Each structure stands twice: as structure tokens, then as C-alpha cells.
Amino acid sequence: MSSESNTSSSLTMSSTVHSVHTSEPLRTLSPESNTSSSLTMSSTVHSVHTGEPLRTPKSTTKEDLEELKRVLGNQIPLSPLSPQPPLGPSPHKSNTSSPQILERYSLSKSDVLKAIVYLEDATKEIQDNNVRLSAVLLEMRKANEEMRKANEEMRRASEEMGRANERAIEEMRKANEETRKANEETMKGLRNTFMFLGCASLSLIALLVFQNKK
């Protein structure tokens, strides 16, 4: 495919996209207008990145293409016929192979083997620590269960002591009630006795007085 046909195809596609987005009639641009559009885009990007006033060159120069390439970060080719780089990684080739990794980080195969052995030892140590930690957690769970049982026994003992205290208090209250009743009976008996003795004393005094009068 020649440069002219490639330029014509690019211009036709650009004009078609413009017609779809703007609903304007389809028109065919000339190579000169395509060059002007490319330079306008380059100038626009340069203005956005640098803050300089927008400029529109009148003709295409190698310096303009270099400037466009620099501004866009080497993402576009210098000529329309240059092959485009792939956008993503190749599906059949890894980005970085093992030798490149070793060369990049200055590693030797012995260093890699040592690192693998170290990782295996570290993994085994972590597994051993996990086993020990599981055993400690099991012991703690057993201890917590024993403490729970002991607390349950203490609670039951406290409840028994509370019930025993209630029974003792009730017995003491009943005993006090019996003592109070007994004291009341005793006081009644003493009152009756004193009343009887008083009556007897008065009778004896009256009898003595009556005899003395005779």
C-alpha cells in the first residue's frame, strides 16, 4: 500500500467519524488539510502541557513531528507506514523471563536456591508456631472451662449459703418469738403472784388490826 492510499484511507475514516459525531455531510480532506490537522493537534497538546499560546504551523516539518512525538510520549510513529506497537502484552510471550529477572536484580541461581530454602524453613517454622499456638489456645480453652465450672460451683455454694442463712434467720426469728411468748407468760405469772401476795398481805394486815381492836 502506498503512502498516498494510506493517507487517503486515514482521511476518509477521520471524516466518517466526524460525520457520525456531528451529523454533518461527509467530506473528503486533502493531504494538506490532514497535515494541518496533525499539526493543530500537536500544537494543542503542546499548549496544554506547557501553557504556551496555541499556534498553528503552516507546513509540516521534521521538528514538528519530533515535538509531537515527544509531547505524546513516543506513542505515535513518525510516518503513517511505521508499524504500530501492540497496546498490551503479547499473549505468547512473558514480559520478563527468569534470566531477565536474575539479571535485573543481580541474582545468581545459588541465591535463588538459598531464598527458596529460607522460605521453606520460614514456612515450616510458621507452621510449627501455628501448631504450638493451637496447643496453647486449647489449654487456655480448657482452663477457661475449668474456671467456668469453678465459678458455677461457687455460685451454687453461695446459693446454698444464702438459703442456709435464710433458714437460720427464720429459725432465730421463731426462737425469738417463742422466747417473747415465754417472757410474756412469765410476766403474767409474776403479776398474778404479786397480786396474790398483795391481797394476802392486805388481808393479814386487816386481820391484825381487827384483833387489836378487840
- pLDDT on residue 176: 95
pLDDT of residue 112: 83
The low-confidence residues of the chain, meaning pLDDT below 50, are: 1-39, 41-49, 54-58, 75-97
pLDDT at 206: 86
Grid cell digits, residue 129: 508456631
Long-range pairs of 36-44 with CB within 8 A, sequence gap ≥ 24:
38/68, 39/64, 39/68, 41/68, 42/67, 42/68, 42/71
The model carries a pTM of: 0.34
Question: What is the structure's pLDDT at 29?
Answer: 45
Closest CA to 31 of 12, 18, 55, 54: 12
